[in-house]
Structure 1
Amino acid sequence: MTAIATGELAQAWGKLQAIVPLTAIHNEQQYDQTIETLHALWDVVGEDETHPLYELLDTLGTL
């Protein structure tokens, strides 16, 4: 198994969380924020599976 650079991962996660809500949805405010983010990503990415943000759109939509 490959060692994970947890310090670097924690920093990257913090930066990403500041931009995009990637958490489970527990209340209406989180739901609204997630839907807003999904719509913004969809406007940019659409159905283009080659777009660099496609995986983020897909992951956020799954949450």
Structure 2
Amino acid sequence: MVANIRSGSSPGGALRYNKEKVDKDEAEVLFWQKMLEPFDRYGRMDVNAYMESFIRV
């Protein structure tokens, strides 16, 4: 799956959309770069956790 990300106030919408697809086994995370670990200790995607990847330090 290739995400078509349009501009918005935050990347959260795109991340939640992708999470829904992964949860339904309609998509999978193939690769991420410069992002915090997107999975919790149970192997589920955690949108709030990896939204922190977008916070400026």
Instruction: Settle same-fold status: TM greater than 0.5.
Output: no
TM-score range, shorter chain: 0.3 to 0.5
> TM-score scaled by structure 1?
0.30
Which has the higher Rg, Structure 1 or Structure 2?
Answer: 1
